[in-house]
Amino acid sequence: MWLDQIGEFEEDYDLTLFDHTRHDSLPDMVSAFLAEAPDSFNLAGLSMGGYIAFEIMRQAASRVEKLILLDTNARADRQPQIDMREDLIRRAGEEDIRVIAQELIEYLIHPDHMSDKELCDRILDMASDVGAEAFQQQQRALIGRPDSRDFLPSIICPTLIICGEQDAMTPPKVHQEMAELIPGATFHQIADCGHLSTMEKPEQVNQLMKDFLKS
């Protein structure tokens, strides 16, 4: 997911990738991360990474210098979304995780990118690397996450919000909502882009992040 950012930022920044495959709740994930994290850091999270970022802000807001939220959502799941996740948990225990991921790709990227075999293969490889058990834990963590909208006005660090204009999973309207609730937040949409903006439009994402981190 962050491959195109690692190569772009590793010379100027000490990068750490958050491991969210070992726990089935966001508080536990974050507690484990913070025990090993630097005293202060810039924080970027896409999709589930955004939900994790909200929990980091709850537990250790003073350690976050700048926050970048990409293709995520401050709202909790509604019942249809919970039902969908519970079905995915069941299926992951019975089916090949790559089969499930193949079905989800159309919701993750812009329709024009469905013919990009390299991109689609990367997504399938990501699913394989995570594995069925960790995928199930992640879905349980997402089901249990709180609604963060009441918490957003307390975020006072500089915040950048990015989303794909055609993000089907977390559409622009929920990013606009976050931008209105976080004081001073900056919001950018990326044209012809779905949910996985770091992979679909890395050049645009990288430039937005660079400009923000250097400002």
The CATH number for 184's domain is: 3.40.50.1820
Angstrom distance (rounded) from CA 72 to CA 81: 14
Q: Are residues 16 and 73 in the same domain?
A: yes
Q: Are residues 92 and 137 in the same domain?
A: yes
Total count of domains within the chain? 2
pLDDT value of position 7: 92
Q: Are residues 117 and 130 in the same domain?
A: yes
CA distances to 34, 48, 154, 212 from 37, rounded to whole Å, are 5, 19, 22, 22
pLDDT value of position 23: 80
Q: Are residues 209 and 124 in the same domain?
A: no
pLDDT value of position 22: 80
Residue range of the domain that includes 130: 79-142
pLDDT value of position 56: 97
What number is the average pLDDT over the span 101-120?
Answer: 96
Copy the structure tokens of residue 74: 């401050």
What number is the average pLDDT over the span 91-109?
Answer: 95
pTM for this predicted structure: 0.94
Q: Are residues 11 and 73 in the same domain?
A: yes
**At CA 64, angle to CA 58 and CA 66, rounded to 5?**
120
Among residues 101, 124, 142, the one where a domain terminates is 142
Angstrom distance (rounded) from CA 178 to CA 162: 11
Q: Are residues 87 and 37 in the same domain?
A: no
pLDDT value of position 90: 97
Q: Is the pLDDT of residue 10 over 90?
A: yes
Q: Is the pLDDT of residue 21 over 90?
A: no
